[in-house]
């Protein structure tokens, strides 16, 4: 996938590197994708996190709320990687 027009953020959590690729429309997340060497179980959780963020306000509080909601609803197990780690990576992209 080409990430032309996307902003990139990186955050090294205890569980691994989280790279966020964010495309903004004004102050809202139009599209988002992740890569890195972290692990989430179930494996579909990363796709659900991305879906929950599409259309969200690009603020730390909104992002953290969306990621935490997926962690809770899907009973996510993520060794060394918390919702705050995703928020940090995403906000680096937003603010770049």
CA-angle at 51, arms to 47 and 57, nearest 5°: 135
pLDDT of 89 above 70: yes
Question: In angstroms, rounded to a whole number, what is the distance separating the alpha carbons of residues 13 and 70?
Answer: 18
Percent of the chain scoring above 70 in pLDDT: 99
Could you report the per-residue pLDDT of 38-59, keeping only the tens digit for each? Answer: 999 999 999 999 999 999 999 9
Could you report the per-residue pLDDT of 57-68, keeping only the tens digit for each? Answer: 999 999 999 999
pTM score, two decimals? 0.94
pLDDT of 1 above 80: no
pLDDT of 4 above 80: yes
**Four-point Cα dihedral 34, 62, 49, 74, nearest 10:** 150
């Amino acid at each position: 996938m080409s990430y032309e027009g996307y902003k990139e953020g990186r955050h090294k959590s205890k569980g691994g590197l989280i790279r966020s690729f964010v495309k903004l429309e004004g102050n809202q997340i139009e599209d988002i994708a992740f890569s890195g060497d972290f692990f989430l179980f179930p494996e579909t959780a990363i796709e659900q996190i991305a879906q929950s963020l599409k259309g969200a306000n690009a603020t730390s509080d909104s992002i953290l709320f969306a990621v935490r909601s997926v962690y809770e609803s899907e009973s996510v197990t993520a060794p060394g990687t918390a919702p705050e780690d995703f928020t940090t990576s995403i906000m680096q992209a937003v603010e770049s």
